[in-house]
Homo-oligomer: A and B are copies of this chain.
Amino acid sequence: MRKPKKERQAALKSSIKDNPFVTDEELSAEFGVSVQTIRLDRMELSIPELRERIKHVAEKTFDDEVKSLPIDEVIGEIIDIELDNKAISIFDVKPEHVFQRNRIARGHHLFAQANSLAVAVMNEELALTVKSELQFLKPVKAGQRVVAKAQVTDRQPHKHRAFVKVVSTVDQAVVFIGTFEMYRTTEQSEGDNT
């Protein structure tokens, strides 16, 4: 034995970990054992074959790409909505939403949740944000659940305007407040909703 089996297997593990693209043949050369030994080692350590390893890496990327894009449609999940009046959504902060360094949620996600909720609560074909004022009161961390409550504070149908206030909390503590001045197309006259 060139080296105790255990040592070799440990080395093998880390070797594959930091270069998943290595073949059994290359590994056999690296450790001075036969290809079969490498294969037995992989079995014991339940390390998949080259192609499977590569596929996993690729799939991971692919998923990441798919998920990093969808800052789309409504951010967060709407759990209650009363059109033209109020709405509530929840948003679970995941690792991809935070700064790497400090795990604090990036501002635009909180804004996105609040803004898309403000759009949703408008009972409108087209609702656009015109102006907005935001306050980020407390940092939000990965793993926390943000509850956003939107309330329509003022409606001015003739002016194509509506005002929405959104308050976001984590465990009852207010973390974010935003006010939104919205532009609405159809001038939904007071009494004819649906």
Asked if residues B51 and A69 are in contact (CB atoms below 8 Å), the reply is no
Residues of B within 8 A of A92 (CB): none
A31 CB to nearest B CB, Å: 23
Residues of B within 8 A of A64 (CB): 61
Residues of B within 8 A of A134 (CB): 129, 131-134
Asked if residues B96 and A70 are in contact (CB atoms below 8 Å), the reply is yes
Contact flags A135-162 to B (C-beta < 8 A → 1, else 0): 1100100000000000000000000000
Q: Tell yes or no: A75 within 8 A of B by CB.
A: yes
Asked if residues A100 and B128 are in contact (CB atoms below 8 Å), the reply is no
Residues of B within 8 A of A101 (CB): 70, 125-126
A170 CB to nearest B CB, Å: 15
Q: Interface residue count for A (Cβ, 8 Å)?
A: 47
The segment from A6-14, A40-48, A78-86, A102-110 found at the interface with B is A102-110
Expressed in whole angstroms, the Cα–Cα distance for A130 and B107 within the complex equals 9
A123 CB to nearest B CB, Å: 15
Residues of B within 8 A of A55 (CB): 21, 54, 58
Residues of B within 8 A of A96 (CB): 69-70, 72
Question: Contacts A99-B73, A136-B131 given: A116-B106 contact, CB under 8 Å?
Answer: yes
Q: Tell yes or no: A173 within 8 A of B by CB.
A: no
A-side residues, CB < 8 A to B, are 20-21, 51, 54-55, 57-62, 64, 68-73, 75, 96-97, 99-102, 104, 106-109, 111-112, 115-116, 119, 125-126, 128-136, 139
List 7 A–B pairs whose Cβ atoms lie within 8 Å, in order of A's numbering: A54-B55, A54-B58, A58-B61, A72-B106, A106-B119, A108-B112, A133-B134
